[in-house]
A and B are shown apart, each in its own frame.
Chain A
Amino acid sequence: MTTETHDISPKHGVPDWLWYVGVPVVGVVLYLLYGQLIPFSEWVTSLFPVARDSHTGEAIAFFFYDVPKVLLLLTGIVFVIGVLRSWFSPEKTRAILAGRHELWGYPMAAFLGVLTPFCSCSSVPLFIGFVSAGIPLGVTFSFLIAGPMVGPVGLGLLYGLVGWKVATIYLVFGFSIATVAGFVLGKMHLEKYLQDWVRELNAGPVGELAEERLRFVDRLKIGLEQVREIVGKVWIWVLVGIGIGAAIHGYVPEAMMLKIMGGEAWWSVPAAVVVGVPMYTNAAGVIPIVEALLGKGAALGTTLAFMMSVIALSLPEMVILKQVLTYRLIAIFIAVVSLGILATGFLFNFLL
């Protein structure tokens, strides 16, 4: 294997050993920086001519604590996930799922949806690739729901900013919604609502691509590439999200939050879903807002419903899927997933 890969390695660039030394060193440095976040944010806040315990002071401290924290967490998580995902590919996932008509094809699809790297811009070819290989429509939906909903970036940030309990609840329920919604959609026999040309493609071709042999250092490079691409893309959402979170943290009175998003207001769960679905941001942008909402006493169920509907259902993705699904199928898809989110929201508001 080494002789083979040697031929195609570029002669220029960083030698392998530097990767193996550099990655842990950078990891340790980031970890040490992570420990300095509170002194850093307090120091920055002290530079502003405002009282630390005023509304503005609170908002500033929140902002300068959360921005470096989220960016550091995001970098670490995206790197680790990027490396992990290099062992998975849509092609492999399809081979695993093809022909799985039995019940546990659904949770398996949801699980693989979390680990398979794919971007929303290729969800149409992916969808067709799955359906044409004989993967049941419902199983395909489980995969497509789980991917964005239980994204590792969102989970990691939730863990870092809000805590492991909420992160675990989110993981379990996000996963369950993807599994159950896929199952329900599968039982509804919706194949007739695919766009005509997709149905005709059913015995479609399977592109065979030789699996690339990667050395571990190649996986590290993939991880770094992911960091560059994802952090480079979402940082602006992170700033906006934390800005909104900071404003909530500093200025919104708790009494008002309890009235609007408290557990007593039953209508707040559907309202959160209605507001959340058309909102387009990603997990990195919405979780700082979630952190601030929960900190101000918003009910967990309502907040979960809001977060799930923002992350899992987005209008741009529906526009992309319009190429393969009819409006009717898209509407059913949104309805089933929203019902799952509503149920989760109500359950937690009722339990807590």
Chain B
Amino acid sequence: MKTIKVYGPGCKRCAATEAMVKDAAAKLGIEVDVEKVTDAKSIAMAGVMSTPGLSVDGKLVHAGGLPDEAKLESWLKG
């Protein structure tokens, strides 16, 4: 079980990122717990400056724009 956090104030791309994570996890058969972090303070505390940001098991892996699909899969696997 991996814990994924999607950081973003709720813009369109943040929702898209969340959907991408779920799709990729389903495709790879990996169980994930996806949590959306929308509060500005928590986003900033995580060190995210451009949204959407993404962390896997507490490690920040991506910030700013939609993640690349192939990279997303490698983060989920890794």
Chain B associates with chain A? yes
Q: Which residues of A contact B (CB under 8 A)?
A: 7-10, 89-91, 94, 117-119, 121-122, 124-126, 128-130, 132, 197, 201, 204-209, 222, 225, 323-324
Q: How far is the CA of A121 from the CA of B48 in the complex (A)?
A: 13
Q: How far is the CA of A94 from the CA of B50 in the complex (A)?
A: 12
Q: Which residues of B contact A128 (CB under 8 A)?
A: 40-41, 44
25 contacts between A and B (CB under 8 A): A9-B70, A10-B70, A94-B49, A117-B50, A118-B49, A118-B50, A119-B51, A124-B9, A124-B43, A125-B7, A125-B40, A125-B48, A126-B49, A128-B44, A130-B49, A132-B44, A201-B41, A201-B44, A206-B47, A207-B47, A207-B48, A208-B47, A209-B61, A209-B63, A324-B40
- Distance (whole angstroms) from the CB of A223 to the closest CB of chain B: 12
Chain B, 20-66, CB within 8 A of any chain A CB:
40-41, 43-51, 60-66
- Distance (whole angstroms) from the CB of A205 to the closest CB of chain B: 6
Q: Which residues of A contact B49 (CB under 8 A)?
A: 90-91, 94, 118, 122, 125-126, 129-130, 207
B11 in contact (CB, < 8 A): yes
Q: Which residues of A contact B63 (CB under 8 A)?
A: 90-91, 207, 209
Q: Which residue of A lies closest to B11 (CB)?
A: A121
Q: Which residues of A contact B43 (CB under 8 A)?
A: 124-125
Q: How far is the CA of A124 from the CA of B44 in the complex (A)?
A: 8
A122 touches B45 (CB 8 A): no
Q: How far is the CA of A122 from the CA of B61 in the complex (A)?
A: 17
Q: How far is the CA of A90 from the CA of B50 in the complex (A)?
A: 7
- Of B47, B64, B74, which one neighbours A89 at CB under 8 angstroms? B64
Q: How far is the CA of A221 from the CA of B66 in the complex (A)?
A: 12
Q: Which residues of B contact A (CB under 8 A)?
A: 7-9, 11, 40-41, 43-51, 60-66, 68-71, 74
B69 touches A205 (CB 8 A): no
Known: A8-B74, A90-B64, A207-B60. A121 touches B44 (CB 8 A): no
A121 touches B9 (CB 8 A): yes
Q: Which residues of A contact B9 (CB under 8 A)?
A: 121-122, 124
Q: How far is the CA of A323 from the CA of B47 in the complex (A)?
A: 17
- Of A8, A117, A118, which one neighbours B68 at CB under 8 angstroms? A8
Q: How far is the CA of A215 from the CA of B2 in the complex (A)?
A: 30
A129 touches B40 (CB 8 A): no
A204 touches B70 (CB 8 A): no
A207 touches B46 (CB 8 A): yes
Q: Which residues of B contact A201 (CB under 8 A)?
A: 41, 44-45
Q: Which residues of A contact B62 (CB under 8 A)?
A: 209
Q: Which residues of A contact B44 (CB under 8 A)?
A: 124-125, 128-129, 132, 201, 204
B64 touches A117 (CB 8 A): yes
- Of B51, B60, B70, which one neighbours A122 at CB under 8 angstroms? B51
Q: How far is the CA of A201 from the CA of B40 in the complex (A)?
A: 13
Q: How far is the CA of A126 from the CA of B64 in the complex (A)?
A: 11
Q: How far is the CA of A324 from the CA of B8 in the complex (A)?
A: 16
